[in-house]
């Protein structure tokens, strides 16, 4: 059971904004989402990428229109969640489980396309949204119009699932299917309730650390960007640093880490040559 991570879009930003001492030139960040084909539970998504609901359509709030105009994601429809699922012969209705690592727009755009999915998400993420949605606040990057109307009825709290010890000092994780194959790992700091996903049985164990940082060198070379980093990079800077320390220890003990936005290719990246 090997996950694949597809790239729903590119976002262009000055490297220095996401990497301390980085270049002033622009770097093409990826916007990954994951797909796991579980033998018993079918296709499981990790987030749902960027899509046209962010970039077009009259139904968008003014805040979402402004967000899209500022970030200007360049979508890749050939690597949308729908296209990647179709590549493996799945229909959106087949998806029963989506791990929602956090509620930033670039992680949730396709959630409305999965009528049968339940959402594994930290309650802190949902609470923060409930307390801030009235602001229509661009700098939080959360837009309730992107979520299914019955979102609140379809949530699963990872802390309500069996907790097991994740490898290499990551701490406790929720064992999603009771088989130890997929663990969600709290990685607080980037956004309220921010989650990573660990695959302990891969060789070496893999941690998808989502948005714990945006470039791997920020973690491995101790180059976390300083101010002015936007609230889209840090919700809680101290918690973020503690998560990075834990991720770094996981790497030092032999673990492999993948980030959502890191521009470097990964052997887990989806291509249309990836086995169906
Ligand atoms: Zn984010």
Q: Residue 118 C-alpha to ligand 1 middle, in angstroms?
A: 20
Q: How far is the CA of 191 from the centre of ligand 1 (A)?
A: 7
Cα of 212 from ligand 1 centre, angstroms: 8
Q: Cα of 7 to ligand 1 centre, how many Å?
A: 15
Give distance in angstroms: CA of 102 to centre of ligand 1: 7
10 CA distance to ligand 1 centroid (A)? 14
pLDDT in tens, the chain (276 residues): 899 999 999 999 999 888 999 999 999 999 999 999 999 999 999 999 999 999 998 888 888 998 898 889 999 999 999 999 999 999 999 999 999 999 999 999 999 999 999 999 999 999 988 887 655 556 678 888 899 999 999 999 999 999 999 999 999 999 999 999 999 999 999 999 999 999 999 999 999 999 999 999 999 999 988 766 555 667 888 899 999 999 999 999 999 999 999 999 999 999 877 665
Q: CA-CA distance, 193 to 22, in Å (whole number)?
A: 28
> What's the pLDDT score for residue 251?
97
Q: What is the pTM of this model?
A: 0.95
Structure tokens given for 14: 């000055």
User: Cα of 21 to ligand 1 centre, how many Å?
Assistant: 22
- Cα-to-centroid distance, 168 and ligand 1 (Å): 25
pLDDT score for 58: 80
Residue (of 79, 112, 119) closest to 96 by Cα position? 119
C-alpha of residue 231 to centroid of ligand 1, in Å: 9
**CATH classification (class only), 4-259:** alpha beta
> Which stretch of DSSP H or E encloses residue 69?
helix 62-71
- Tokens standing for 20? 């301390």
276 Cα–ligand 1 center, Å: 29
Q: Are residues 88 and 270 in contact, defined by beta-carbon separation less than 8 angstroms? A: no
DSSP state of 276: -
What pLDDT shows up at residue 131?
A: 82
Query: What residues does each domain of the chain span?
Result: 4-259
Tell me, what's the pLDDT at 28? 96
Instruction: Please give the distance, rounded to the nearest whole angstrom, from the Cα atom of residue 216 to the centre of ligand 1.
Output: 15
Burial of 236 (0-12, 13-18, 19+ CB in 10 A): middle
Is residue 247 within 8 A of residue 212, CB to CB? The reply is yes
Sort strands 97-99 and 195-199 into parallel, antiparallel or unpaired: unpaired
How remote is the C-alpha of 192 from its chain's centroid? Answer: 13
Cα of 103 from ligand 1 centre, angstroms: 7
Q: What angle do CA 72, 77, 81 make, to 5 degrees?
A: 105
Q: In what order do the strands lie in the sheet with 97-99?
A: 74-75, 4-14, 26-38, 42-46, 97-99, 118-120, 155-156
């Amino acid at each position: 059971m090997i996950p694949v991570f597809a790239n729903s879009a590119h976002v262009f930003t000055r490297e220095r904004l996401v990497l301390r001492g980085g270049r002033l030139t622009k770097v093409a960040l990826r916007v990954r989402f994951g797909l796991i084909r579980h033998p018993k539970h079918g296709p499981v998504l990790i987030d749902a990428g960027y899509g046209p609901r962010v970039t077009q359509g009259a139904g968008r709030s003014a805040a979402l229109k402004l967000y899209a105009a500022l970030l200007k994601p360049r979508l890749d429809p050939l690597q949308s969640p729908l296209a990647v699922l179709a590549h493996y012969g799945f229909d959106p209705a087949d998806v029963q489980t989506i791990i929602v690592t956090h509620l930033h727009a670039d992680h949730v755009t396709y959630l409305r396309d999965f009528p049968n999915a339940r959402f594994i998400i930290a309650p802190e993420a949902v609470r923060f949204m409930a307390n801030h949605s009235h602001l229509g606040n661009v700098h939080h990057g959360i837009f309730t119009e992107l979520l299914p109307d019955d979102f609140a009825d379809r949530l699963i709290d990872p802390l309500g699932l069996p907790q097991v010890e994740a490898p290499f000092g990551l701490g406790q994780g929720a064992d999603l299917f009771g088989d130890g194959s997929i663990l969600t790992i709290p990685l607080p700091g980037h956004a309220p309730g921010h989650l990573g996903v660990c695959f302990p049985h891969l060789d070496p164990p893999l941690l998808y650390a989502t948005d714990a940082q945006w470039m791997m060198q920020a973690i491995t070379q101790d180059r976390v960007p300083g101010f002015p980093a936007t609230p889209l990079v840090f919700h809680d800077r101290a918690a973020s640093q503690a998560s990075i320390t834990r991720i770094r220890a996981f790497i030092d003990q032999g673990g492999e880490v993948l980030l959502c936005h890191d521009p470097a290719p990964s052997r887990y990246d989806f291509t249309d040559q990836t086995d169906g």
